[in-house]
Amino acid sequence: MNILITGCRGQLGNELQLLEENYPQHNWFNTDVEELDISNQLAIEQFVAENRIEGIVNCAAYTAVDKAESEKEKCTTLNTVAPAYLAAAIEKRNGWMIQISTDYVFNGTKHTPYIETDTPCPESVYGSTKLAGEMGVLKFCKKSVVIRTAWLYSSFGSNFVKTMLRLGREKAQLGVVFDQIGTPTYARDLASAIMTIIEKGIIPGVFHFSNEGVISWYDFAKAIHRIAGITTCQVSPLHTEEYPTPACRPHYSVLDKTKIKNTYGIMIPYWEESLGDCMKTMNAMD
């Protein structure tokens, strides 16, 4: 198959590129904004037609959650309009699409893991634009899969793990929110799941994917420091109110992964195992 990857220089896009060599039977078209501007409908249609694209994995997104509150137009273009353009273009070729979405489509007021049929209720510009993006993809491409994920990190790009490692080495004290609960996701595990979906064949619908287990941001930070052997930084728990941000964040955003595990036979690692693997990779890159 001829497969288009958008956002190839982001965390997930980079992880997908590492896995592509295991699937030499496909032609991979790795693009970011320099190669293909996904806010340009004509450019997408030309690229898809000229390269006979049969499937799209859209990893491109506006992910600056707080900045989105003041850059609504830019966020909407990337998270809502562009995915619909991609879906419409691939539908013309009777192809498939995988759209990456987020736990931010929920408001986080539940106390049990979110399932795919729970009613979305976003409380931020980022969450609203990603939800609208899901709806556009499902509407314009019959063979489409939406994967909601959460707390994504990788050895690539900037993320919470790298920030905690840097601050842990720089500071004697650090405060981290303890009343927001969820599950981290190692982007390489998500990339592996995407490859499994491509190989087994698209079963349309919405799916949830994160690593297994449940944790707070505070506990996550403590685990990062423990694994890295950082002992010189005192990490203290903060209430959300003590760390105000422009965008509302879900207090509870644990995702139930039963559907994706049963549908595609995917084994999902425990968050701490994956964190250890990622940090080993980071050390090897240093």
* Structure letter (DSSP) for residue 205: E
- Other residues' Cβ atoms within 10 Å of the Cβ of residue 100: 27
| Cβ proximity of 131 and 120 under 8 Å | yes
Q: In whole angstroms, give the CA distance from residue 234 to residue 240.
A: 19
For residue 255, give the nearest of 177, 193, 174 by alpha carbon. 193
Q: In whole angstroms, give the CA distance from residue 7 to residue 156.
A: 13
Angle at 269 between CA 101 and CA 254, to 5 degrees: 45
Considering only CA atoms, give the Rg of the chain.
Answer: 19
Q: In whole angstroms, give the CA distance from residue 3 to residue 97.
A: 10
Catalytic residue among 114, 126, 153, 218: 126
- By the 10 Å C-beta count (0-12 exposed, 13-18 middle, 19+ buried), 50 is classed as exposed
Give the Å distances, CA to CA, from 68 to 59, 203, 242.
18, 32, 21
Q: What is the side-by-side order of every strand in the sheet holding 2-6?
A: 27-30, 2-6, 55-58, 96-102, 143-149, 205-208
What is the crossing angle of helices 82-91 and 125-140, to 10°? Answer: 10
Q: Which two tokens stand for residue 184?
A: 């981290």
243 assigned to active site: no
User: Which residue type is seen at 235?
Assistant: V
Catalytic site positions: 126
